[in-house]
Amino acid sequence: MGPDFRKQNGLVPVIVQSFETGRVLMLAYMNEIAWEKTVETGKAHYWSRSRNKLWMKGEESGNVQLVREIAIDCDSDTILLKVDQVGGAACHTGFESCFYRFLRDGLFEVRGTPVFDPREVYKK
Amino acid sequence: MGPDFRKQNGLVPVIVQSFETGRVLMLAYMNEIAWEKTVETGKAHYWSRSRNKLWMKGEESGNVQLVREIAIDCDSDTILLKVDQVGGAACHTGFESCFYRFLRDGLFEVRGTPVFDPREVYKK
């Protein structure tokens, strides 16, 4: 009944959408442990492919994702999470959504403005 | 400026969302040719990992996806397409969205009803 982790080396892609506005916020990946932690705690956990570790979204910034709904696709290899995004921004750049650049006349252009300053939030 | 096809063996995941309702319809994959065809024609083209071929969504069912907006994420490895879904359903099962099963009390349950009968549409 659950996600099929066998197809993509133990990972499934996860589409994260704002429960309130419907805006697509980001794409992340879960392994089985991240999946179980998410269901158990109600806070989104992912597997970081770049850092090769389990992470709770917002563990550093405080901008956690509170899970409102979980759906699975027809062939059980993709998850859709609808969340309340604490802090109002999912992207590490400070934008609400990671999808803040839109194609126009052959070029991607930024739309909107960041919600927070990443230098403040991540203290790096 | 474009999608980075080098990270995942020449493919990028593509989140497909209804332009009108904001509902997330499906996740698919593009290679560089599918990307170019999509931008050029305004109709969504993908790379089928199971059939190992380029396909235009709806080429068999007639339920093509007319592209209204294209966004790219912060690290340029995921695409978001906002589309008008001809026929009202993106899923080969006949449901509007591939995400028609929702987690409730530990089980995934179907929500909603199919828009079309796949046996009629695909004549198989």
A14-35, pLDDT tens digit by residue?
999 999 999 999 999 999 999 9
A63, two tokens: 């901008």
A78 to chain B: which residues are within 8 Å by CB?
A: 27, 98-99
pLDDT of residue A38: 98
Q: Is the pLDDT of residue A107 over 80?
A: yes
CB-based contact, A93 to chain B, within 8 Å: yes
Q: Is the pLDDT of residue A122 over 90?
A: no
Q: Where are the beta strands (DSSP E) in chain A?
A: 12-18, 24-30, 45-48, 53-56, 65-72, 79-85, 101-104, 107-110
A69 to chain B: which residues are within 8 Å by CB?
A: 102-103
Q: Is A99 left (phi over 0), alpha (psi -120 to 50) or beta?
A: beta
Q: Is the pLDDT of residue B60 over 60?
A: yes
B103 to chain A: which residues are within 8 Å by CB?
A: 39, 69-72
Q: A12-116, which class in CATH?
A: alpha beta
Q: Where are the beta strands (DSSP E) in chain B?
A: 12-18, 24-30, 45-48, 53-56, 65-72, 79-85, 101-104, 107-110
Q: Do the chains contact at A24 and B15, CB–CB below 8 Å? A: yes
pLDDT of residue B88: 94
Q: How far is B80 from chain A (nearest CA, A)?
A: 7
CB-based contact, B68 to chain A, within 8 Å: no
* Residue B58, C-beta contacts closer than 8 angstroms, at least 6 positions apart: B43, B64, B65, B86, B87
pLDDT of residue B124: 54
Mean predicted lDDT score pLDDT of chain A: 95
The domain limits of chain A are 12-116
Q: Is the pLDDT of residue B119 over 90?
A: no
Q: What is the C-alpha separation between A49 and A13, in angstroms, rounded?
A: 11
State the ipTM, two decimals: 0.95
pLDDT band at A121 (very low <50, low <70, confident <90, very high): confident
Q: Which CATH number fits domain B12-88: 3.40.50.80, 3.10.180.10, 3.30.70.3290, 3.10.20.810?
A: 3.10.20.810
Q: How far is B17 from chain A (nearest CA, A)?
A: 8
Nearest to B71 among A71, A93, A101 (CB): A101
Say what percent of chain B tops pLDDT 90. 86
The predicted-structure confidence for A56-80, as pLDDT tens digits, reads as follows: 999 988 999 999 999 999 999 999 9
CB-based contact, B80 to chain A, within 8 Å: yes
A29 to chain B: which residues are within 8 Å by CB?
A: none
Q: Do the chains contact at B78 and A107, CB–CB below 8 Å? A: no
Mean predicted lDDT score pLDDT of chain B: 95
